[in-house]
Amino acid sequence: MSLSSDEYLLVQLNDISIEINRYLSIFIFLFGVIGNILNILVLSQRTLRSNSCAWLFLISSISNLIAILSEITTRMLSSWAIDPTDTLDWLCKLHGFLTFNARTIAYWLITLATIDRWFLSSLNVNTRQWSTLRNAQRSTIIILILSSLLYVDIFYCYESNLINAPLPCYSKNTFCLLIIDVSALVMSVLLPILFMIIFGVMTILNIRRSKRRVRPVPVFIIGNNTIQHKIPLTGKQYTHHNTIQKKKTDGQLFKMLFIQVILLTLFTLPLILEKIYSIFIRPQKSPIETSIDTIIYNIALLLNYLTNGMPFYIYTLFGESIFRKELFHLLTLFRQKFQCHRTFN
C-alpha cells in the first residue's frame, strides 16, 4: 500500500528524529560522563573542596552526571526501541523525577555560585562574610529539598505504556503536562538564568568599583622629611602568602563561573524559545507540525544537555593554575598507581 505525501513526510521526519536522538545522544553521553567524573575527582581534592564556590561546582557536577545518566541513556535506548522506562511504570516515574530534579539542582547551584561570588566581591565587609563554605552547604540542602518538592507530582503524573502521547513514558494528561512543563520552564530555566545574569553583572560592577578604590599612596619629600599622605582604607591589607593565593583562587573561580554562565545562557535560549512557542503561542498543531516541533525540541534539548557536560572542559581551559594543576596532579597519581600495579603483577 502506497503512502500519501503527508504520510511519507511524517515517516521521514520520525526517522530524522530517531537518528538525532541516537547519534547526538551518544556524543553527549561520552562527553558529559567523562567530563563530570573528572570534574568530581578534581573538585573533591582538599585544596578545592574547602572553597565555597568550588563546593557548589562539585555538587553541581554530581547533579549533571545524574541528569545525563538518567535522560541521555534512555534517549539512546529509545532510538533502538529498548528503553525500559517505556514499559515499567515505576522506572518511568523515577526517571522523570531524577531527570527534572537533577537538572534543576544543577542550574540553581550555579546560580548560588554566582551569588557567592557577588558576596565575595562586595566592598561591604559584612556582605563578604556571607561567602562561606557552611552557607554554601546549607544553601545546597535547601535547593535539594525545594527541587524535590517541586517535582514530586511526577510520581502521579508520569505513566508508561502510553499510546496517544509523544513518548510511551510521559505525562498522562494535559493538566499534568502543563504543570510540569511550566514548572520546568520557569523554575528550572528562566529564573536561574535571570539570577545568574543579574548577580553576574553585579559582581563585575563590584570588581570594577574595588579596582577604582585602590589608589597609590602619595609620598611627599620635603627637605629631609618624608610625609606620607594617608588614605582611608576600606579593609585590612594582607600580604600573607595564603591570603594572596586565596584571592588568586577566587579570581580564577569567578572567571570559570563567568564563562559557564555565558555558555549556559546561549545553549539554553533555543530550548526556552521552543518551550514558549509550544506551550503558549501554538499549543495546537497538525501532525506534520508536531513532527517538525519534535525534531526542533530534540535538537534544542540535546544542545541544552551539552551544558551538563561542559563544566569540566570550561574549567580546564579557563581554570589556569588552580584547576589544571589539580587535574595534572590527579592524573599523575593515577599513572603512578597503574605503573605500580603493573610492576607487582
For 148-178, write each residue's pLDDT tens digit: 999 999 999 999 998 877 778 989 988 998 8
Cell 520552564 found at: 185
For 305-327, write each residue's pLDDT tens digit: 999 999 999 988 887 777 888 88
Q: What band does 243 get if pLDDT is binned at 50, 70 and 90? A: low
Query: What mean pLDDT comes out for the span 240-257?
Result: 74
Q: What is the pLDDT of residue 227?
A: 44
Query: What mean pLDDT comes out for the span 22-39?
Result: 93
> Taking 60 as the threshold, does the pLDDT of residue 237 lie above it?
no
Q: What is the pLDDT of residue 135?
A: 95
Choose among 95, 91, 100, 90: nearest CA to 184. Answer: 100
Q: What band does 230 get if pLDDT is binned at 50, 70 and 90? A: very low
> Taking 70 as the threshold, does the pLDDT of residue 233 lie above it?
no
For 80-102, write each residue's pLDDT tens digit: 888 899 999 999 999 999 999 99
DSSP helix/strand/coil, 87: coil
Q: What is the pLDDT of residue 221?
A: 44
Q: Please state, in angstroms and rounded to a whole number, the distance separating the CA atoms of residues 222 and 216.
A: 19
Q: What band does 218 get if pLDDT is binned at 50, 70 and 90? A: very low
Residue 222: beta bridge partners?
225
Cell 591589607 found at: 237
Q: What is the pLDDT of residue 229?
A: 45
Q: With left for phi above 0 and alpha for psi between -120 and 50, is residue 215 left, alpha or beta?
A: beta
* Domain ranges within the chain, ordered by starting residue: 5-212+242-344
* Superfamily, domain 5-212+242-344: Rhodopsin 7-helix transmembrane proteins (1.20.1070.10)
CA torsion through residues 262, 264, 269, 270, sign: positive
pTM: 0.83
For 42-87, write each residue's pLDDT tens digit: 998 887 888 899 999 999 999 999 999 999 999 888 888 888 999 9
Query: What mean pLDDT comes out for the span 236-252?
Result: 64
Q: Please state, in angstroms and rounded to a whole number, the distance separating the CA atoms of residues 171 and 101.
A: 16
DSSP helix/strand/coil, 228: strand
